[in-house]
Structure 1
Amino acid sequence: MKRDAIFDNAKILLIFLVVFGHMIQPTTNESSGMYTLYTWIYTFHMPAFIFLAGFFAKGSGNKNYIFKLAKKLILPYLIFQTIYTVFFLFIGKNEWLNAPFTPHWSLWFLFSLFCWHILLAVFKRIPPMVGITLSIVIGVSVGYVTDIGHDFSLSRTFVFFPFFLIGYWLTKEQVKSWRRPAVRTASVGIMAAVAVFIALAPEFDSGWLLGSKSYETLGAPEIGGVYRFGVYVIAALMSMSLLSWVPNKHYSFTALGGQTLYVYLLHGFIVQLFRQMEWVQVNNVIDIALYLVLSGVIVYLLSTSTIRTLTQPFIEGRAQLLRKQWAQINNDSYRMN
């Protein structure tokens, strides 16, 4: 699909919020303000990201698609699962040894993304409203499975699949229609209301937004399905509200929206080091501004051509950028001689 500024701008904003949210997470236990900010971000940042992943999955089903998908997602998953295991051991992080298919930290997204594409092969043959309704029913129901959790990213795969499927069925025109003045006005009220609710309900467990635990684990073994459906509604409204304000204009940073996988996979090394060293502390507004700037710097640096050239073999399973760089060096050396 032809790249569109609104979607790249949305992706760069969302990956920035992913990094920022991961950065400030250790501060949420001691500050109600940081907990409110963190939880507010989590109401939409992954649902919106997954929605965009589904939107760009419209070309699925081509010949050899599954093999290419496994190379694109499962291979880097296995590589980074190993690398993160070694890294966590190096920095002294407890419980660093995970089974191969118990994803380390943010790696669940790669495994779930692969599964969503597989599920899509079935669900795209079902009428959209029927399929979306069925996916929501499944997402609500799996919470009643006591043992479901991080293994094989099963819980998150089913819980977040409705957003992927909705993204698949929506058109570019429908998404852009959310930018109407009336929608934008309503979105401000929605985002403000959610922030107020979180601030006034500090007992709300942010685990409901992560999609990785059963209802029994979250303390609501009977009524958990109602809570999850409510989370679905809030996440959908918040995602639409955010996307309604994303500009449809090319900026100097817009192209970085095409490099978000690099940022997603690599930022953990920086954030986890900060966490383990207990360097993340927020005492005032200036500290928050500092972490906002730091998150932006991390996103930018991990999107640069140098980082992509060095890490492309691990992330994409190819060395096109390295070969291009090597050819350039040889050409420059030839000219000098």
Structure 2
Amino acid sequence: MIDVRDAYFDNARVLLIFLVVFGHVMQPYTGDSAALNTLYMWLYTFHMPAFILIAGFFAKGSGNMSYIKNLIKKLLVPYVIFQVVYTGYYFLLGKSGWESGLFHPQWSLWFLFSLFSWHILLILFKKWPPILGMLIAVQVGLIVGYFGDIGQAFSLSRTFVFFPFFLMGYWVTKEHLMKLKQTPVKVASIVIMVLVAVGIALAPDFNSGWLLASKSYDILGEPTFGGVGRLLIYITSALMTASVLAWVPRRSFSFTKVGVYTLYVYLLHGFLIQFLRVKDIEVSIFDSALDVLVFTGVAALIVYVLSTKPIRLITEPLIEGRVSGWKKLKAAQTTNIKKAS
């Protein structure tokens, strides 16, 4: 049985959700700095694949009807709610493209739709031998790029392209992950991470769309050999994911508990990020190192605030469809009143 509160996995979740927010904070300024652009694309080689792999690791449940109903409650209902809320919010901000429709996920909401789809695909794929399933999943991910009609609608492109990482996470055991902690592997991981960063820096015209997995090869400018390019991305992302997970600490820290609430951060941080983008807040790019520190501080603050108890109490009905936090608060208040009397 999986220990869902294992410090290693919560630390991984905290690191990855921070990097998601960090990347979104930094993105508008990457065009003004080659160093920031390199860092941005370096992060995108692994932060979503790693996040998806962790999600797959915890998808060990069965595929019966009650399981599917629970997925609908946990993933599709929040998706519909936040799709409507974000659409209204974008309209109020005057953001273009706000009228995307229910089946064109607003910005980061694609993850909920895809996560539900990955669970459904898993019902079939887990019946096959791991190697066969992985080969088929990768092949499908390579092929879909040749179809221009498979894009952001229903989050289809990202669903198929990122599914191999979810399936990999399903088949991976904790023992496999702990082998990444061996010294030779950690040393090799540093070499890999440096080489990937250097490779990105030496290819300034590299289209970040390859890492976002939402566009066809034709749009990316490689209609013929796009599959080869995506295969290289798969290999790079797998190596980078393993390299980063090798350095995730196993012991608990004061911030480890934030790993329990990453869904809150993921769904809510878009309100802040999109507000900052629409308001076009200027950040002068003078020193890339200093800029990174500023972005780090802003991202860390967003993650902390959105994982605090008051925010969770307010948004729990929307995100989890329950009010357990309010019930616990009321019970605690009742207990305190009884003790005082």
TM-score by length of 1: 0.97
User: How many Å separate the matches in 1 of 2:137 and 2:189?
Assistant: 25
Of residues 36, 39, 44, the one that matches 2:46 is 44
* Identity percentage of aligned residues: 54
Residue 95 of structure 1, CA deviation: 1.3
Q: Counterpart amino acid of 1:289?
A: L
Pair 226,282 (structure 1): closer, same or farther in 2 beyond 3 Å: farther
User: How many Å separate the matches in 2 of 1:329 and 1:105?
Assistant: 39
Q: Which residue of 2 aligns with 1:313?
A: 317
Q: Counterpart amino acid of 1:251?
A: F
User: How many Å separate the matches in 2 of 1:134 and 1:307?
Assistant: 42
Q: Deviations over 1:145-168 (max 9, x none)?
A: 111110000000000000000000
Of residues 194, 197, 213, the one that matches 2:196 is 194
Q: Which residue of 2 aligns with 1:85?
A: 87
Residue 332 of structure 1, CA deviation: 4.2
Q: Which residue of 2 aligns with 1:294?
A: 298
Moved more, 281-290 or 234-243: 281-290
User: How many Å separate the matches in 2 of 1:236 and 1:34?
Assistant: 23
Of residues 104, 107, 116, the one that matches 2:106 is 104
Of residues 310, 313, 330, the one that matches 1:326 is 330
1:148-297 aligned within 5 A: 148-279=150-281, 281-283=283-285, 284=287, 285-297=289-301
User: How many Å separate the matches in 1 of 2:304 and 2:83?
Assistant: 24
Residue 63 of structure 1, CA deviation: 5.3
Q: Counterpart amino acid of 2:136?
A: L
Q: Which residue of 1 aligns with 2:58?
A: 56
Q: Counterpart amino acid of 2:172?
A: L
Runs (4+) of structure 1 moved beyond 4 Å?
A: 330-337
Q: Deviations over 1:204-263 (max 9, x none)?
A: 001000010110111111110000000000000000000001111111111111111010
User: How many Å separate the matches in 1 of 2:263 and 2:308?
Assistant: 12
Q: Counterpart amino acid of 2:44?
A: Y
Residue 7 of structure 1, CA deviation: 1.0
User: How many Å separate the matches in 2 of 1:282 and 1:205?
Assistant: 24
Q: Deviations over 1:58-82 (max 9, x none)?
A: 1232550000000000000000001
1:58-77 aligned within 5 A: 58-62=60-64, 64-77=66-79
Q: Which residue of 2 aligns with 1:35?
A: 37
The residue matched to 1:71 in structure 2 has which SS? helix
The residue matched to 2:222 in structure 1 has which SS? coil
Q: Deviations over 1:81-116 (max 9, x none)?
A: 011011111111111111101000000000000000
The residue matched to 2:31 in structure 1 has which SS? coil
Q: Counterpart amino acid of 1:95?
A: G
Pair 249,282 (structure 1): closer, same or farther in 2 beyond 3 Å: farther
What is the CA RMSD across the aligned residues, in angstroms? Answer: 1.3
Number of residue equivalences: 337
User: How many Å separate the matches in 1 of 2:155 and 2:62?
Assistant: 22
Pair 292,203 (structure 1): closer, same or farther in 2 beyond 3 Å: same
Of residues 8, 15, 22, the one that matches 1:13 is 15
| Structure 2 unaligned residues grouped into runs of 5+ | none
Residue 331 of structure 1, CA deviation: 4.5
User: How many Å separate the matches in 1 of 2:16 and 2:280?
Assistant: 25
Q: Deviations over 1:107-148 (max 9, x none)?
A: 000000000000000000000000000000000000001111
Residue 175 of structure 1, CA deviation: 0.6
User: How many Å separate the matches in 1 of 2:335 and 2:250?
Assistant: 39
TM-score by length of 2: 0.96
1:304 lines up with 2:308 in the alignment: yes
The residue matched to 1:29 in structure 2 has which SS? helix
Q: Counterpart amino acid of 1:304?
A: T
Moved more, 129-138 or 323-332: 323-332
